[in-house]
Chains A and B, each alone.
Chain A
Amino acid sequence: MSAVRLDGVRVVAGERALLDSLSLNVEPGEHLLVVGPSGSGKTTLLRAIAGLAIPSSGTVELFGARVSDGAKVLIPSEQRRIGFLFQNSALWPHMSAARQLEFVLEHAGVPKAQRAGRASELLEWVELKGFESRMPATLSGGEAQRVALARALAIGPKLLLLDEPLGPLDYELRSGLLAKLGELQRKLGLTVIHVTHAPEEARAIATRTLRLRSGRIEVSE
């Protein structure tokens, strides 16, 4: 059973095809790097898997369950249990680091009494112990991205989607976060689809690289 299976997925914006009849299989535990020039459909691929972009045709399956069939959404985003790490973190500006995680844990059905402890544990995973009460505006780019990673992991996903998570960080922070990602992937047995502009940095932890161009797969190696 594939972790992710796309069959003939097409996503359009107006006249333009962002993904053009794209088919793809990702095996459980894989760390798939997705590269390609700007506008090649990398982010759209992640959004189609997450259910944030609705395909006009084709099917999407996650761990054997069909989640969309053409324009019909069979399982909405909020029920797919996917971790999504956005570019520029997308932290909720009015919530502290711990509250971001507790809010997600609440929706994952974690009992109230366990949420604070679980949030601290997640922050410890990303080496931000003691940052519980810090607000997003007071975090550096690297810290914000690690809080966002903890938030993406809070629902206990089997699939993690990374949309250029290292983009805004300097070299040292990028290496640190990459190492952390590799370690967490092994520890949690995650399947990762990782969109990046700098494949050379992530290649060490990747199992396969996919190159997109104009919404189609150009190379898979």
Chain B
Amino acid sequence: MSRPLVTLALLVFALLGLAPLAVMAGRVNSEDLAALFTANSGVLLGRTALYGLGVATLALVLGVPFGFLTARTDMPFASVLRPLGVVPLFLPPMMLAMVWTAVAEIRGAGAAWFVSTLSTFPLVAVFAARAFERIDARQEEAARMVGGLRAVLRADLPLVLPPALCGACLAFVFTVNDFSVPDYVSWLGLPKFSVYADSIYATWRIDASPGRAVAMALPLVALTLLMLIPALALRRRGALASLSHDFRTPERISLGAWRWPAFLSCTSLLALAAIVPIGRLLWEAGGGPRGWSTTELSSAFALALERSRGDVRNSVTNALITALGCVALGLVLGHALERARRGRLLEPLVLLPLSVPAVLFGIGIIVLWNRDATAAIYESDFLVSVLLTGRFMVFAVLVAGGAVASLDPRLEEAARVAGVGPVRRLTHIVAPALRSSLAGAFVLVFVLSLRELDATLLVPAANHTAMFRIFNQIHFGRDAFVAALALLLVFLIVLPGLLWSLFARKRLELLP
């Protein structure tokens, strides 16, 4: 392990991820804290916690069977449905809200619950699928001999449940910190659905007081940490069920007559979460109620490209810089986290930028960088990459760290005794062995950066991105242009994953 390299990575992390939080924490005074103890705050917090718990539970109920059916059974097209199952997670939740409130005329809390569940169930499904396929065949055979399929499932469940719960905890965190979905469904009219993240945004818009915004956010930060810390512990327990050197792949379980019903269930879920939303956007872009035609569709795309070329370019550039930066830092810090003597201490630290509401992190970036000495950065597009790297680095660190944990340490030791120095070991032994995970981290951060709205909403430099343009435009009315721009964004979001599946032989490892 190269100490100078790790120190440099830690300094960058401190500047991008922790400094925006530290600078905000310093602004809180007793008046701000007193304002926190209002009856309304308690109601909002209770509602937000219930909302998060409800979505996490539903995500668990839908995600575990989806993961099991696609990873371990002979369900038709399981190998196609499994990667497609990730797509809803990548679609901006606000886009799902846009579509479902129009398709089904749902509003208020019901709409927010429905959309957030569709958006987050893949988190549970991918964790569960990976855990199911990492159970050694011999363990299952031993259970089968004792009590058949029932015994197999009973033996498997304790191995699958911790990672699935880790996914559910993350679903909770994503849900309670999301501002865009409740904001959008409330904007549409009654019944309103106000949540905590919404009120932080409102507090900042009213009096632009960082201290008040931080104080408002504290209960939500506590709630988020309350879920993130168990998620980390559960992730480690999940890793215990991972591959050993003499691992034997388990056989696919035969569903018999249930093969096609299982296929229909999984396809229906995917239809709700991805196919209908994308189909609806296509319909709207092609003319919608005025009559659909390919001419309308192509002119909507031409208009979207003409009006928003700069926004799309900015979004892609920011996402690329962010993803590259996060992967480089993730490799160094993820490796240190697993291999350094006290590396695990780093884990709660890297979670901090994710534990604060995205809106608040954006405000922290404004407070930190909006000063004379850093005006050049504050006014440039680069600030968006600075913001997104600080916010999303945690994913790259955890994905790389998880991959390092499952890498045989003897590979590095063999290089070490052969005279290879720490930096070369990291770049020539560790990085190539982790390429699927590093590519997965790249795709994950790229996608999250492209679809991010909450953190960037208040930052002026981020006002020229495709996501911001969609957010602004839908408040002025829905038309073919918005639908085409949203589809363009969806295409860019799925492109890296698509390219990887076309040209790479190994599966993309997206999980922390």
Contact = CB atoms under 8 A, between A and B. Distances in A.
Interface in A95-117: 95, 103-104, 107-108
B257 interface: no
Give the 6 A-B residue pairs with the shortest CB-CB distance, closest first: A90-B410, A94-B432, A107-B419, A104-B418, A84-B417, A77-B416
B414 A92 contact: yes
Interface in B176-229: none
Contacts of B408: 90
A103 B420 contact: yes
Nearest to B431: A94
Contacts of B413: 50, 52, 77, 84, 86, 90
B492 interface: no
Contacts of B418: 78, 103-104, 107-108, 151, 154-155
B433 A92 contact: yes
Interface string A52-69: 100000000000000000
Interface string A150-183: 0100110000000000000000000000000000
A213 interface: no
A52 B417 contact: yes
Contacts of B433: 92-94
Nearest to A83: B417
Interface of B: 245, 408, 410-411, 413-421, 424, 428-429, 432-433, 435
Contacts of B410: 86, 88, 90
Contacts of A51: 416-417
Contacts of A151: 414, 418
Contacts of A104: 418-420
A162 to B, nearest CB: 13
B485 to A, nearest CB: 40
Interface residues of A, number: 26
Interface string A118-157: 0000000000000000000000000000001001001100
Which of A81, A92, A108, A148 has the largest count of B CB atoms less than 10 A from its CB?
Answer: A92
B414 A50 contact: no
B144 to A, nearest CB: 27
Contact of B419 (A52, A86, A108): A108
A120 B128 CA distance: 46
B417 A50 contact: yes
Nearest to A80: B417
A82 interface: yes
Given A93-B433, A103-B428, A79 B416 contact: no
A91 to B, nearest CB: 8
Contacts of A88: 245, 410
Contacts of A95: 432
Contacts of A108: 418-419
Nearest to B428: A103
Given A50-B417, A108-B418, A151-B418, 17 more contacts: A52-B413, A52-B416, A77-B413, A77-B417, A78-B419, A78-B420, A83-B417, A84-B414, A86-B410, A90-B408, A90-B411, A90-B414, A92-B414, A94-B433, A94-B435, A107-B420, A107-B421
- For B410, B419, B420, B428, the residue with the greatest tally of chain A CB atoms inside 10 Å of its CB is B419
Nearest to A105: B418
A88 B296 CA distance: 62
Contacts of B432: 92, 94-95
